[in-house]
Amino acid sequence: MNEMIKPLSPSKAEQAKSLLKRAIRYQAELSKSPLAHEVIDRATPVVWFGNISSNNWVTIATNPSSKEFLDTDGTLLLGKKSRFYVSEFGASLEDYEKNDSQLESTIEMYSSYFERDTTYRSWFGKKNGAKLEGFLNGMGGSLYSTHNKKRVVHTDFFPIPTKSQMSRIRSKGNLFETQFAKDFIRDTLDFLSPSLIIVLGKEHCSRLALGNEFSFNNAKSIKGFPDAQYQIGFYHQLGVPVVGLHFKPSEQFIGLGGSKVDSNGKSHGSYATKSALNFMGNEIKEEIMEVFGIAIN
């Protein structure tokens, strides 16, 4: 194991294995459902990304991208290219669930994700770069190992990678409303035990606000960036602050380019610069500290 990766305690390792087994069983169910064509053959669930540490922050997005398992030509990423564990050829999910050494290898790949050269940087960003990492740096956090920033771990509301982007799957709402999805994200957050939660996406904020475990203030815009809206909230189960971003890394942070402009005439492409993201992160950090009266890093 990478020397920078602190191994999980025995009790944490058992919790991790239990969560992984639950996700494997659900992936097996999905493989026999009308959405079977969306399940990537030999791909495995992703419960979290990154090295867990005490009081780490957690970002939550939708579900693992197919790019975590598939190359640009659609073939599996294997060997040194692998980002996550790929099950053995011909092995069933049931076989995989029963194989302790394979489960442990899977979990080790979660922990070492941001320590390896295979990180999907087009989405997460490079260390000290832009994209999600740039925003987190502005808040005082990082997905990567660093001595002067809060460690951030990533997870998703739905741990199963799909061939299509979740936004293109018509029945996506049904997947998020399953008892599995509702229980799994809650139990994953309990396991990760964050001191701050950052929710990536307006639709996820809206879904969380329907229950009584999360509460949110009204949405507001970041100064100078009117289309970058966010909400400050609270997760009552763990008693920790929440930031709900209405702008996703896959949208303003990466994909909009310069074709759209905000009410100030500023292009959305300018929202994606490292300096802009650092500024946004810092503005939100200041807001959290003001609302809760606490230092967050």
Q: How confident is the model at residue 248, as a pLDDT?
A: 63
Q: How confident is the model at residue 252, as a pLDDT?
A: 47
Three-state SS for 138? helix
Cα–chain center distance at 167? 16
Burial label, 168 (beta-carbon count in 10 A; 0-12, 13-18, 19+): exposed
Tokens linked to 233: 């909230």
Whether the pLDDT of residue 192 is over 90: the answer is yes
Q: How confident is the model at residue 261, as a pLDDT?
A: 83
Q: How confident is the model at residue 73, as a pLDDT?
A: 95
pLDDT band at 249 (very low <50, low <70, confident <90, very high): low
User: What φ, ψ does residue 62 adopt, rounded to 5°?
Assistant: -85, -70
Average pLDDT over residues 184-212: 94
Distance CA 293, CA 43 (A): 43
**pLDDT digits 0-9 by tens, 13-71:** 999 999 999 999 999 999 999 999 999 999 999 999 999 999 999 999 999 999 999 99
Residues 233 and 217 sit within 8 Å (Cβ to Cβ):
yes
Q: Of 161-175, 218-232, 243-257, 268-282, which range is least confident?
A: 243-257
pLDDT-above-70 percentage for the chain: 94
pLDDT band at 72 (very low <50, low <70, confident <90, very high): very high
Tokens linked to 5: 């990766």
Q: Is the model's pTM score more than 0.75?
A: yes
Q: What is the mean pLDDT of the chain?
A: 92
Average pLDDT over residues 248-267: 66
Whether the pLDDT of residue 96 is over 90: the answer is yes
Three-state SS for 39? strand
Whether the pLDDT of residue 257 is over 80: the answer is no
Residues 121 and 129 sit within 8 Å (Cβ to Cβ):
yes
Average pLDDT over residues 135-153: 95
